[in-house]
Structure 1
Amino acid sequence: MAKENVFQLQLEPARLEEFTAAAKAVHRPASQVMRDLMCDFIRQQQTRKHDEFVQLKIAVARASLEAGRGRSNDNVEAEFAAHRVKGQGPE
């Protein structure tokens, strides 16, 4: 990926020295460590959004079951077994 932008970060000199030393200790440039941290942060946000989406889907499904609109796995399996016997997909 082409690096076309500059990101400036202000921090205390001691913090910069600590960070630079830690990056050097693992034989990586500090700029690459920062890029990796940014990518990890973005992934965490995407994961959080996906988790919220899944939790909403679960809540909707549970509400549906509690309202009596659910079907047991045995009923679904029996219906699809009957479709397979007839040689057709579900309607």
Structure 2
Amino acid sequence: MNRQPVFTMKLETELRDTFMKLAEAEHRSAPQIVRDLMQQYIERHEYKHFLEDKVTSARASIANGQSITHQDAKAIFKTRREKV
């Protein structure tokens, strides 16, 4: 039998009671909701790092002269739109 870790936390009574009432109203268990919240937090964290990496990469490209001007980008996409 697999043993699952237990996560214990201290909450204010009012916060816990409100949370439990809302969970019950949605017919969901508190652990289900907490797992969903944890997963969303992890996804936001991963996305934040993804964006930071993209920005760092873009800045490096600009610093290395591997970029085009705003006007050139507009012209390129104008040409693409006209082809469609």
TM-score normalised to structure 2 length: 0.71
Hey, what's the Cα distance between the residues in 2 that align with 1:22 and 1:12? 16
1:29-68 matches, cutoff 5 A: 29-65=29-65
Question: How large is the Cα RMSD of the aligned pairs?
Answer: 2.1
What is the aligned residue count?
A: 68
| Secondary structure, aligned partner of 1:11 | coil
Residue 24 of structure 2 corresponds to which residue in structure 1? 24
Which structure: larger Rg? 1
Q: Using CA pairs under 8 Å that are at least 6 residues apart, name the structure with larger relative contact order, 1 or 2.
A: 2
Same amino acid, percent of matched pairs:
27
For 1:57 and 1:70, locate their aligned partners in 2 and report how far apart those are by CA, in whole Å. 12
Scaled by the length of structure 1, the TM-score of the pair is 0.66
- Give 4+ residue runs of structure 1 displaced > 6 Å after superposition: none
Gaps of 5+ in 1: 72-91
Deviations 1:27-86 (A, max 9, x none): 110110001101111111111111110000010111122xxx568xxxxxxxxxxxxxxx
Shift of 1:3: 6.4
Which structure 2 segments of 5+ residues have no match?
69-84
